[in-house]
């Protein structure tokens, strides 16, 4: 489906504005909307937040479109149940179908892929699985219009992998005079001890860490977006003799930024929280995040981290690690990077359970 046609049909039926969190399946759609001057796009930090924003537009007599991955449907469920369904605030949810049964996909999508349609039915949300046919889309939009207008409740479109045809993004003004994530990961690997633990957030950050660092004590979070630092906090509390390095992305950090206050409250001295900030959700297609307007180092200090630093070169990073390695944290390190990853970036060959077991074995051994 051509994204211009898709937007035209929706906008002509008075759906909009558009908001949400990206998924690689939505890459052509969101990238087109980001470029477009006629379709308004609101980036958000989580799918739950997007549902709240949508409610504000519905109260203003619009019928907003909330876009999300089915993994993010989990984040949307709370406002969906106690906001949209409770107050009868219609919107159109555009939900991707990662992990569709019988189709090959990454392991983190298995449960949501299998249960998505049942979850929608349990919420009594009518849905259409979209087909690549403009007449059919027109009919589905008419049905969604009729339902949202007559019942004042949300309607969902389910989008399969490959539904949208590619769209060449114009690209934004992202900085180029910076180093890559990999430049910093190499410095990190040379400056940590064998027993230190690395936790990589979902997105390119964790996948790159997992593939390019030989360090043994590491775990990559497939999914559970925004949870890496909470996992780090738990480990830091239980293993005070180890140093815990959490490698976050700006999108993942923004999704659960409240966690910084929990870290500050419990104040683990052995936690090193590193945010690789490329100002985008790079692994889902480079859609903007709100990071350019956020001073993460100030937020960390305001949340009671012990120290916080802004880093713009691998040399600076090395000097910083030397300096703070044996100082008390929690430490926050904001690293501005340029986009770009390994050409050969793959998916881990271990299963999530194997990754977990390897880390747990190493934790038992002191």
Ligand X SMILES: Cc1ncc(C[n+]2csc(CCOP(=O)(O)OP(=O)(O)O)c2C)c(N)n1
Site of interaction with ligand X (CB under 6 A): 21-23, 69, 71-72, 75, 201-205, 223, 225, 249-252, 278, 280-284, 289
- To ligand X, the closest distance from the beta carbon of 8 in angstroms equals 26
As beta bridge partners, residue 246 has 199, 273
Question: Residue 251 or 314: which CB sits closer to ligand X?
Answer: 251
Question: Residue 141 or 252: which CB sits closer to ligand X?
Answer: 252
- To ligand X, the closest distance from the beta carbon of 78 in angstroms equals 13
DSSP string, 13-45: TTEEEEEE---GGGHHHHHHHHH-SSS-EEE-S
Question: Residue 21 or 80: which CB sits closer to ligand X?
Answer: 21
- To ligand X, the closest distance from the beta carbon of 287 in angstroms equals 8
Question: Residue 72 or 329: which CB sits closer to ligand X?
Answer: 72
Question: Residue 223 or 292: which CB sits closer to ligand X?
Answer: 223
CB nearest ligand X: which residue? Answer: 249
Q: In whole angstroms, give the CA distance from residue 10 to residue 337.
A: 36
Q: Are 155 and 125 in contact (CB under 8 A)?
A: yes
Q: In whole angstroms, give the CA distance from residue 8 to residue 92.
A: 15
| Among the listed residues 316, 313, 273, the one whose alpha carbon sits nearest the alpha carbon of residue 296 | 273
Neighbouring CB atoms inside 10 A of 350's CB total 14
- To ligand X, the closest distance from the beta carbon of 276 in angstroms equals 7
Question: Residue 195 or 338: which CB sits closer to ligand X?
Answer: 338
- To ligand X, the closest distance from the beta carbon of 181 in angstroms equals 8
Q: Are 336 and 178 in contact (CB under 8 A)?
A: yes
Residue 31 structure tokens: 């990238």
- To ligand X, the closest distance from the beta carbon of 336 in angstroms equals 12
- To ligand X, the closest distance from the beta carbon of 356 in angstroms equals 18
Burial of 87 (0-12, 13-18, 19+ CB in 10 A): exposed
Residue 122 structure tokens: 């349990």
Report the largest interatomic distance among the alpha carbons of the chain, rounded to a whole angstrom: 65
Question: Residue 141 or 185: which CB sits closer to ligand X?
Answer: 185
Question: Residue 141 or 254: which CB sits closer to ligand X?
Answer: 254
- To ligand X, the closest distance from the beta carbon of 122 in angstroms equals 19
Give me the helices (H) in the chain, please.
3-12, 27-35, 47-59, 70-79, 85-87, 110-122, 134-151, 181-190, 204-212, 228-238, 250-255, 259-266, 296-302, 314-324, 352-364
- To ligand X, the closest distance from the beta carbon of 160 in angstroms equals 16
Question: Residue 50 or 137: which CB sits closer to ligand X?
Answer: 50
As beta bridge partners, residue 336 has 277
Q: Are 200 and 220 in contact (CB under 8 A)?
A: yes
């Amino acid at each position: 489906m051509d994204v211009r046609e898709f937007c035209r049909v929706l906008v002509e039926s008075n759906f909009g504005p558009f908001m949400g969190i990206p998924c690689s399946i939505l890459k052509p759609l969101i990238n087109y909307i980001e470029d477009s001057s006629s379709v308004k796009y609101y980036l958000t930090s989580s799918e739950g937040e997007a549902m709240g924003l949508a409610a504000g537009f519905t109260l203003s007599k619009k019928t907003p479109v909330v876009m999300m991955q089915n993994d993010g449907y989990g984040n949307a469920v709370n406002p969906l149940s106690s906001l949209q369904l409770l107050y009868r605030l219609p919107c159109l949810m555009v939900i991707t179908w990662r992990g569709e049964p019988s189709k090959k996909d990454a392991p983190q999508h298995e449960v949501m892929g299998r249960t998505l349609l049942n979850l929608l039915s349990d919420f009594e949300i009518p849905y259409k699985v979209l087909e690549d046919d403009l007449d059919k889309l027109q009919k589905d939009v008419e049905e969604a219009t009729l339902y949202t207008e007559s019942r004042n409740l949300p309607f969902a479109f389910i989008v399969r992998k490959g539904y949208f045809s590619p769209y060449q993004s114009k690209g934004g003004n992202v900085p180029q005079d910076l180093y890559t994530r990999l430049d910093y990961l190499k410095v990190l690997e040379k400056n940590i001890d064998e027993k230190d633990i690395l936790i990589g957030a979902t997105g390119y950050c964790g996948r790159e860490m997992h593939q390019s660092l030989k360090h043994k004590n590491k775990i990559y979070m497939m999914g559970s977006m925004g949870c890496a630092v909470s996992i780090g906090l738990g480990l830091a509390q239980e293993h005070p003799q180890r140093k815990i390095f959490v490698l976050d992305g700006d999108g993942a950090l923004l999704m659960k930024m409240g966690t910084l206050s929990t870290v500050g409250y419990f104040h683990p001295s052995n936690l090193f929280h590193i945010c690789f900030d490329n100002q985008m959700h790079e692994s889902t297609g480079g859609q903007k995040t709100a990071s350019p307007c956020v001073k993460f180092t100030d937020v960390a200090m305001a949340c009671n981290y012990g120290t916080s630093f802004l880093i713009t070169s691998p040399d600076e990073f090395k000097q910083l690690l030397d300096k703070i390695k044996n100082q008390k944290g929690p430490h926050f390190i904001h690293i501005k990077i340029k986009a770009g990853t390994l050409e050969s970036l793959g998916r881990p060959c271990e299963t999530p359970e194997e990754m977990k077991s390897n880390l747990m074995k190493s934790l038992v051994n002191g």
